[in-house]
Structure 1
Amino acid sequence: MENNLQKMIEERNQLYMDVRAGKIPKRVPINLNMDGAAALEYAGYDLKTQQYDIKYLIDAMEKAAQDFESDNLGVTAVRFAHFYKILGAKHFVMGTDGFLQHPEIAAMEPKEYDALTAEPYKFLWDSVIPRLYTELDKPWPLSSAALAKGFHTFYSTMGQVGAAKNELCLKYGKSNLGGAFAQTDAPFDFIADLLRSFTGMMMDIRRVPDKVEAACEAILPLMIKAGAKGTPEKAGGCMIPLHMAPYMKEKDFERFYWPTFKKLVEELVKTNTNVSIFLEHDFTRFLDYIRELPAGCQLMAEFGDPKAFKEKLGDKFILTGFYPLAMLKTGTLDEIQDKAKEIIDILAPGGRYIFSLDKSILRVSDVEIDKYQALLRFVKEYAVY
Structure 2
Amino acid sequence: MGKDTMTAEERLIATINLEPVDRVVCAPETGNYAGQYVGITNKEFVWEFETKGLAAIEKLANDYPMWDCSADINGITSGYVAERAGMGKMKLPGKELPDNASSQVLETEVMTRDDYAIVKEKGYGEYHINFLERANNISREEIVKGFTEAGRIRAAELEAIRRRGQVPIYGDLGGLVPFDAFSLTRSIEKYFKDMFQIAGQLEELMAILVDAFVEGSERTVAATGVNRVFVGGSRSAGQFISQKYFDRLVWPYFKEFVERLVAKNIVPILHFDCDWTKNLEYFLELPKGKFVLELDGATDIFRAKEVLSGHCAIHGDVPAAYLTIASPSELDEYCKKLITTVGKGGGFLYACGCCMPINAKHENVKVFFEAVEKYGYY
TM (norm. structure 1) is 0.85
Find the aligned partners of 1:104 and 1:57 in 2 and give their Cα distance: 27
Q: Shift of residue 325 of structure 1?
A: 2.5
Q: Among 346, 354, 359, which residue is 2:349 paired with? A: 354
Q: Residue 20 of structure 1 corresponds to which residue in structure 2? A: 16
Q: Among 303, 312, 317, which residue is 1:308 paired with? A: 303
1:230–1:135 Cα change, 3 Å: closer
Q: Give matches, 1:1-385, under 5 Å.
A: 11-35=7-31, 37-49=32-44, 51-53=46-48, 54-68=50-64, 69-78=66-75, 79-85=77-83, 91-94=89-92, 95-98=96-99, 99-121=102-124, 123-124=126-127, 127-136=130-139, 144=141, 146-147=142-143, 149-169=145-165, 174=166, 176=167, 180-193=171-184, 195-228=185-218, 229-230=220-221, 236-244=227-235, 245=237, 246-296=239-289, 297-302=291-296, 303-363=298-358, 365=359, 367-385=360-378
Q: Is the Cα–Cα contact under 8 Å of residues 182 and 237 in structure 1 kept in the other structure?
A: no
1:102–1:214 Cα change, 3 Å: same
What is the percentage of aligned positions where both structures have the same residue? 19
Q: Is the Cα–Cα contact under 8 Å of residues 306 and 346 in structure 1 kept in the other structure?
A: no
Q: Deviations over 1:54-94 (max 9, x none)?
A: 21111112111112231224543132111234679961231
Q: Deviations over 1:74-130 (max 9, x none)?
A: 543132111234679961231412432110122321123234223324742674342
Q: Shift of residue 31 of structure 1?
A: 1.7
Amino acid at match of 1:353: F
1:350–1:32 Cα change, 3 Å: same
TM (norm. structure 2) is 0.86
1:337–1:89 Cα change, 3 Å: closer
1:158–1:345 Cα change, 3 Å: closer
1:132–1:330 Cα change, 3 Å: closer
1:109–1:61 Cα change, 3 Å: same
Q: Is the Cα–Cα contact under 8 Å of residues 89 and 134 in structure 1 kept in the other structure?
A: no
1:38–1:121 Cα change, 3 Å: same
1:9–1:166 Cα change, 3 Å: farther
Q: Is the Cα–Cα contact under 8 Å of residues 87 and 135 in structure 1 kept in the other structure?
A: no
Tell me the C-alpha RMSD between the 2 structures: 2.6
Structure exhibiting the larger radius of gyration computed from Cα positions: 1
Equivalent pairs counted in the alignment come to 361
